[in-house]
């Protein structure tokens, strides 16, 4: 198992951190856990896993898309 501390930020909010635990041996486990955490924290609409971005829809139209970036701050084997 691995524990990571992840930092979230958007143009409005800086420095929200959360912890996620996952198993590298299970394919897709990290993506599923990060997606679930982001959905519960910011209510994401889509997750762009490769560019470390999450999209939140605030209304209708392209201008209603809020882009959140996330980065791994710390990684620990548990």
The full DSSP string for 2-30 is EEEEEEEE-SS---EEEEEEE-TTSTTHH
pLDDT (tens, 9 = 90+) of the chain, 78 residues, equals: 899 998 988 888 888 888 999 998 899 898 888 888 888 888 888 888 778 888 888 877 767 888 889 888 999 998
Model-level pTM? 0.74
């Amino acid at each position: 198992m691995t524990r990571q501390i992840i930092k979230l930020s958007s143009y409005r909010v800086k420095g929200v951190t959360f912890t996620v635990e996952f198993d590298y041996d299970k394919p897709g486990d990290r993506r599923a856990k990060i997606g679930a955490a982001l959905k519960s924290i910011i209510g994401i609409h889509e997750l762009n896993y490769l560019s470390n971005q999450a999209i939140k829809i605030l209304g209708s139209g392209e201008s209603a898309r809020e882009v959140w970036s996330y980065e791994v701050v710390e990684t620990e084997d548990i």
